[in-house]
Structure 1
Amino acid sequence: MSKKEMIAKKAAEELAPHSIINLGIGIPTLVANYLDKDKYYLHTENGLLGVTSVEEEDIDPLLVNAGKLPVGEAVGASYFHSADSFAMIRGGHVDTAILGALQVDSNGHVANWAIPGKDIIGVGGAMDLLVGAKQIIITTNHVSKDGSPKLVDECSYPITSNRRADIIITDMATFKWKNDGYELTELIDGTSLKDVEENTTLSYRVSEKLLQKESK
């Protein structure tokens, strides 16, 4: 299993059955591979509730998600205007948003829409999802391509929202916001506490349960 698939699988394990979930671009789209389609309802900003996968021979070029990737429609799916879709998000009707990130900092701020000096697509629906979704899960590689930490003390890229991320899942570890700070709750197989420490400048504490497990 690739690192990206491993991250997506971990994220799927955090989801409550029968919840409405919005999947961002990149790693988040892989989460759908690990969900029981009868127990979860996938939402996309461009106006579809009941997103599902689609076989290549059944692709409708007009039926895409917010990332312009081909999707299918589950039994009972509903279509609506993009404005109504954003009203669902802003009104708190999306249970969980799973998003990618360029950086996440010690205050839980997420930067995922702009790199100074580079021309990229823009914020899209990420700002609305960070504000409106009941739970935010970030899925990302632990470090950038140049080896620099993506979990930092303070974001150097423009932040997307003041709303904090509830859970961060990387290819090294899982962090959860608890008692005004991030707690390292799980290590990915083959990763040590030292590995995380050397590749993270975000402030965090290690859970007692994990400390006890690692001391055995």
Structure 2
Amino acid sequence: MATDTSVKGWTRDQMAARAALEMHDGFTANLGIGIPTLVGNFIPPGVDVTLQSENGILGLGPFPTEREVDPDIINAGKQTITELDRTSYVSSADSFAMIRGGHIDLSVLGAMEVAENGDLANWMIPGQMIKGPGGAMDLVAGVRRIIVLMDHVSKSGSPKFRTHCTLPLTGANVVDMLITDLAVFDRKSRNAAFRLIELAPGVTIEEVRAKTEASFEA
């Protein structure tokens, strides 16, 4: 993945591009709202991935140009998308049956917090108005591998990779890989600790440790 070494850390596009490297030929994948929606723009050439959306689309195309926008073709986040020659539509019940039945290989989700044991909090902040959990709880329960994309710290500078999540959980021990604007953390199994496997340009391990509450291997 090409990076500008004069810039410290990854942009959101670069985070999405790093996540896209985890896509393998033949995968069926689900992309969550926010940064994860960008992943579809960076799937490597020659890798055939079918993107699934909770609202019943199997085979999402890329984001449309201004002239291609069709307000009736939207993903689960209500963003307009395009169709492919193989795009198909199913009911919401069938879409969630794919998810709950373990037929989705990979889901890339956003997060408010991730804990060192793999707990995920990404659906609500107490006291703030919410629309509901969406499909996140089903995704973390039924999808084989979960990758999280998030900024390493909050807008206030607080660590988001924490010892324990302080927000209501979406799922317990469900995160397999964490990609932030500073680094990539992976673990071999859900019984293992997270290990730092990659640093973003210009970022040192000392900076990562200073901005991380969670314990991790390096």
Cα distance in 2 for residues equivalent to 1:141 and 1:24:
15
TM-score in terms of structure 1 length: 0.92
Question: Aligned to 2:105, which of 95, 100, 106?
Answer: 95
Runs of 4+ displaced beyond 4 Å? none
Question: Aligned to 2:17, which of 9, 32, 35?
Answer: 9
Tell me the residue number matched to 1:32: 40
User: Which residues in structure 2 correspond to 1:25-64 (within 5 Å)?
Assistant: 25-35=33-43, 36=45, 39-53=48-62, 54-64=64-74
What is the percentage of aligned positions where both structures have the same residue? 45
How much has 1:59 moved relative to structure 2?
Answer: 1.6
How much has 1:38 moved relative to structure 2?
Answer: 6.4
Amino acid at match of 1:115: I
* 1:169-215 residue CA offsets vs partner (Å, 9 max, x unmatched): 00000000236210111101110000100000111110xxxxxxxxx
How much has 1:96 moved relative to structure 2?
Answer: 0.4
Cα distance in 2 for residues equivalent to 1:163 and 1:133:
13
Cα distance in 1 for residues equivalent to 2:180 and 2:166:
19
TM-score in terms of structure 2 length: 0.91
SS at match of 2:209: helix
Aligned pairs, number: 206
Cα distance in 1 for residues equivalent to 2:116 and 2:86:
41
Contact 2:36 2:109 in 1 (8 A): yes
Question: Aligned to 1:119, which of 105, 110, 129?
Answer: 129
Residue 145 (structure 1) aligned with residue 155 (structure 2): yes
Amino acid at match of 1:14: E
SS at match of 2:185: strand
Contact 1:20 1:95 in 2 (8 A): yes
User: Which residues in structure 2 correspond to 1:159-174 (within 5 Å)?
Assistant: 159-174=169-184
Question: Aligned to 2:79, which of 69, 77, 86?
Answer: 69
Greater relative contact order structure (CA < 8 Å, 6+ sep)? 2
Contact 1:130 1:163 in 2 (8 A): no
How much has 1:37 moved relative to structure 2?
Answer: 8.1
Cα distance in 1 for residues equivalent to 2:51 and 2:27:
8
* 1:76-126 residue CA offsets vs partner (Å, 9 max, x unmatched): 111100110000000001110000000000110000001011112221000
SS at match of 2:186: strand
Cα distance in 2 for residues equivalent to 1:92 and 1:56:
36
Higher fraction of helix:
1
